[in-house]
């Protein structure tokens, strides 16, 4: 049941700290602070390329993973939405690894992508929440998200569990390939281990997120901006807002704004910036300056240091716990989803069963 919560989506949002903590507990050795994967029937040090495909939020989890994997391990990873992937008939390398991410393990397009990869001679690794699913049966190896049943149609806890598995996987690949020193891998594991407590802090300050909802609920269009590993979190924010509150929203890479979408900006368009402190902060800040200069309402999601730097241009600020940039996308996914939830509640939509949607999309 829903316990004390109004909706399954709300209940599942509140499970983020536990679900993320469970993944970390299973996948990081507490003494060595090193990533641990189950035995795999392929050698991560030898794989020449990863080919990834998924749909919707699961695709965004993989896009974030691509950023981590390529930057930390130097292993190239291709990413396509599953409904497009097989139609471009991509050539896949000998000895390559196919990677699929899915909550249900039944999504028709993702399953078809898996079968294409297998027919092209790839080993198949899946990141799944349902270990009895069709994709699980057709995998060579599986990393389980173990987020528990997700009832709300909009993915919440399964998404942060997918991100967490991807983050640890990227570290494991980096270790297998010797691209990072063990001390650096341990430091990044420590950064991940800080997420559950900080996620709980965010949930405890839910009122700060709810306070932003009226401004979004009255908008006809909302833009989400992010850079690097936070760009897919901007995409996730826009998707979650569209599907739960029926408000038109788009996610953009912050630097892409000036190549067209900036023409949309006026005082009626809220622009939500996912911009934790880190190497990409200053670049995003200058993009936000451009938005503010055109009268856009900038809503900043950052830590105290980042928020202070953007004080002059932000219409609203959500201050989040300070976190290492590596772990930030996982933490920032939480307020992004929670804002969509509160806007949907304010709009009075059917939050757990949005119109026209099904939990598991088994047609192509």
CB of 149 to ligand F6R, least distance (A): 12
Stretch that binds ligand F6R, among 21-29, 50-58, 310-318, 343-351 (CB under 6 A): 50-58
Residue facing ligand F6R at closest CB distance: 56
Contacts to ligand F6R from residues 120-159, by CB under 6 A = 154-155
Q: Please select the residue that binds ligand F6R; options are 51, 53, 57, 134, rule is CB under 6 A.
A: 57
Which residues in 48-61 are b (16+ Cβ under 10 Å) and which e? eebbbbbbbbbbbb
Stretch that binds ligand F6R, among 53-61, 138-146, 170-178, 345-353 (CB under 6 A): 53-61
CA 14, CA 277: separation in Å to the nearest integer? 25
Sequential DSSP letters for 203-260:
HHTHHHHHTTHHHHHT-SEEEEEE-GGGHHHHHHHHHHHHHHH--EEEEEEGGGGGGT
Please identify, among the stretches 99-107, 112-120, 192-200, 274-282, the one whose residues bind ligand F6R according to the rule CB under 6 A. Answer: 99-107
Of 242, 309, 347, 359, catalytic: 359
CB closer to ligand F6R, 64 vs 277? 64
Phi, psi of 194 (to 5 degrees): -80, -15
Stretch that binds ligand F6R, among 22-30, 51-59, 326-334, 343-351 (CB under 6 A): 51-59
Of 59 and 301, which CB lies nearer to ligand F6R in the complex structure?
A: 59
The least CB distance from residue 54 to ligand F6R, in Å, is 6
Residue (128 or 185) nearer to ligand F6R, CB: 128
Site string for ligand F6R, 233-262 (x = CB under 6 A): ------xx--x-------------------
Q: How many CB atoms lie within 10 A of CB 93?
A: 15
Decide whether 134 or 317 has the Cβ nearer to ligand F6R: 134
Strands 77-81 and 97-102: unpaired
Nearest to 68 by CA among 185, 195, 147, 183: 185
Least Cα distance to 332 among 263, 266, 290, 281 occurs for 281
Among 51, 53, 103, 287, binds ligand F6R (CB under 6 A): 103
Query: Does the protein bind ligand F6R through residue 317 (CB under 6 A)?
Result: no
Minimum CB separation of residue 326 from ligand F6R in Å reads 23
Cβ proximity to ligand F6R: between 22 and 150 the closer is 150
160 part of the interface to ligand F6R, by CB under 6 A: no
Angle between helix axes 328-347 and 195-204 (nearest 10 degrees) is 20
CA distance 46 to 40: 12
Cα gap 282→228, rounded to integer Å:
13
359 is a catalytic site residue: yes
H or E stretch covering 82: helix 82-85
Nearer to ligand F6R, 126 or 297 (CB): 126
Cα separation, 131 vs 136, in Å, equals 6
Residue 102 CB, shortest distance to ligand F6R, in Å, is 3
Residue 22 or 352: which CB sits closer to ligand F6R? Answer: 352
Rg (CA), the chain: 20
- Residue 95 in contact with residue 48, Cβ under 8 Å? yes
Q: What are the catalytic residues? A: 359
Could you list the residues that contact ligand F6R (CB under 6 A)? Answer: 55-58, 102-104, 107, 110, 154-155, 239-240, 243, 360-361
């Amino acid at each position: 049941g829903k316990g004390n919560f109004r909706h399954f989506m709300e209940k599942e949002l509140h499970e983020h700290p536990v679900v993320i903590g469970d993944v970390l507990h299973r996948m990081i050795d507490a003494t060595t602070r090193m990533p641990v994967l189950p035995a795999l029937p392929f050698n991560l040090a030898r794989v020449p390329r990863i080919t990834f495909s998924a749909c919707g939020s699961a695709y965004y989890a993989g896009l974030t993973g691509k950023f981590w994997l390529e930057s930390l391990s130097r292993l190239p990873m291709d990413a396509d939405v599953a409904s497009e992937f097989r139609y471009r008939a991509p050539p896949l390398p000998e000895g390559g690894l196919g990677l699929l991410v899915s909550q249900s393990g039944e999504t028709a397009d993702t399953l078809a992508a898996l079968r294409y990869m297998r027919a092209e001679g790839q080993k198949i690794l899946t990141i799944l929440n349902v270990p009895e699913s069709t994709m699980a049966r057709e995998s060579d190896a599986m990393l389980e998200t173990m987020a528990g049943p997700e009832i709300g149609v909009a993915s919440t806890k399964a998404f942060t569990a997918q991100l967490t598995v991807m983050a640890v996987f990227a570290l494991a690949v980096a270790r297998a390939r010797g691209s990072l020193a063990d001390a650096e891998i341990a430091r990044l594991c420590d950064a991940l281990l800080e997420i559950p407590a900080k996620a709980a802090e965010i949930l405890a300050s839910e009122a700060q997120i709810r306070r932003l909802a009226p401004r979004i609920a009255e908008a006809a269009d909302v833009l989400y901006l992010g850079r690097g590993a936070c760009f897919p979190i901007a995409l996730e924010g826009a998707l979650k807002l569209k599907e739960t509150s029926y408000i038109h929203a788009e996610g953009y890479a912050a630097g892409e704004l000036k190549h067209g979408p900036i023409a949309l900006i006026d005082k009626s368009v809220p622009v939500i910036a996912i911009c934790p402190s880190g190497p990409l902060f200053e670049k995003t800040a200058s993009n936000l300056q451009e938005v503010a200069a055109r009268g856009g309402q900038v809503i900043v999601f950052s830590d105290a240091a980042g928020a202070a730097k953007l004080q002059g241009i932000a219409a609203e600020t959500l201050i989040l716990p300070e976190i290492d940039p590596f772990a930030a996308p996982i933490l920032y996914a939480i307020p992004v989803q929670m804002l969509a939830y509160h806007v949907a509640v304010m709009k009075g939509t059917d939050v757990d069963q949005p119109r026209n949607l099904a939990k598991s999309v088994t047609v192509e």
